Amino acid sequence: AQSVTQLDSHVSVSEGTPVLLRCNYSSSYSPSLFWYVQHPNKGLQLLLKYTSAATLVKGINGFEAEFKKSETSFHLTKPSAHMSDAAEYFCVVSGGATGNQFYFGTGTSLTVIP
C-alpha cells in the first residue's frame, strides 16, 4: 500500500528565509512522488516529481526536493521564501493497480511573513 505523511500542517517563515516542508512516504515498491501546490481559488499545480532518476529533483519557482530512500523521505525545500509562495502544499505518491491512483498527504499550509 502507498501513503504519505506530511509532518507539519502549518509552516510559517519570514520572507527571504529558507523553506522546509516535510514528507515521509510508504510504498511497497519504488515510488513515484510528487509535490503539488494549491493557491487560493486555484487548481493543484505540479511543482516537481521524482520518478527514480536523480534523487535531487528541481522544480518550478526555485523549489527542489530530495528523495532519501533510507529515510523514506521526500522533503520540499527552497532557499529563500517569497511572498507568492504562501499556499497549501501537498506531497503525493502514485500507486494503485494500474499506477493511476494518487495518494495525497494532508497538506502543509505555508505562511510567508513580510
22, 8 in Cβ contact below 8 A? yes
Is 26 a binder of other proteins (CB under 8 A)?
no
User: Looking only at residues 47 through 106 of this chain, which bind other proteins when binding is defined by CB under 8 A?
Assistant: 49, 51, 90, 94-106
With a CB cutoff of 8 Å and minimum separation 6, the contacts of 29 are none
**81 vs 105, beta carbon nearer other proteins:** 105
Closest to other proteins by CB, 40 vs 114, is 40
Is the dihedral angle over the CA atoms 108, 52, 78, 43 positive or is it negative? Answer: negative
Contact status: 34 vs other proteins (CB under 8 A): yes
